[in-house]
């Protein structure tokens, strides 16, 4: 009981600190942002609200200004089942990538962030 209370308290502290220290969103032209929105339509992040690795991934999404659907597998049994059926395990964060009629499931926050940076970060010219 005490451990659960500590875990909940720590999780809420992490979420609160995230809200207070969020990085600025990347600014794009309206046309470029519209293209990003179209490209992110096939992406969904399966996560737990207070998971530190999920917070890290959401911060990267926020910084890159990516409107990716967020699905909380702790609060929604349907999302939990979809993660298990599609990805093969209940582990978060997990990015569901749906492109060209195929679906891929990417685990590990560092891998997800590297993928998002490679795909959506502005390139220097």
Domain boundaries along the sequence of the chain: 2-120
Whether residue 58 has pLDDT greater than 80: yes
For 44, the 3-state DSSP assignment is strand
Spelled out in words, what is the top-level CATH class assigned to the domain 2-120? Answer: alpha beta
Q: Tell me the per-residue pLDDT of 71-106, one tens digit each, with 9 for 90 and over.
A: 999 999 999 999 999 999 999 999 999 999 999 999
pLDDT at 125: 47
Reading across the β-sheet that carries 94-99, which strands appear in turn?
69-72, 43-47, 94-99, 102-107
Q: Can you point out the beta strands (E) in 16-118?
A: 43-47, 69-72, 94-99, 102-107
Chain center to CA of 60 = 8
Instruction: Flag whether the pTM goes above 0.95.
Output: no
């Amino acid at each position: 009981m005490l451990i659960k209370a500590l875990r909940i308290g720590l999780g809420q502290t992490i979420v609160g600190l995230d809200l207070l220290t969020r990085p600025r969103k990347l600014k794009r032209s309206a046309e470029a942002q519209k293209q990003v929105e179209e490209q992110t339509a096939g992406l969904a992040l399966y996560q737990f609200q207070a998971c530190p690795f999920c917070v890290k991934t959401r911060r990267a999404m926020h910084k890159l200004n990516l409107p990716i659907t967020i699905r909380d597998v702790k609060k929604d049994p349907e999302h939990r089942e979809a993660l298990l059926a599609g990805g093969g395990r209940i582990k978060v964060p997990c990015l569901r990538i749906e492109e060209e009629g195929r679906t891929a499931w990417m685990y590990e926050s560092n891998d997800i962030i590297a993928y998002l940076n490679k795909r959506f970060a502005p390139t220097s010219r």
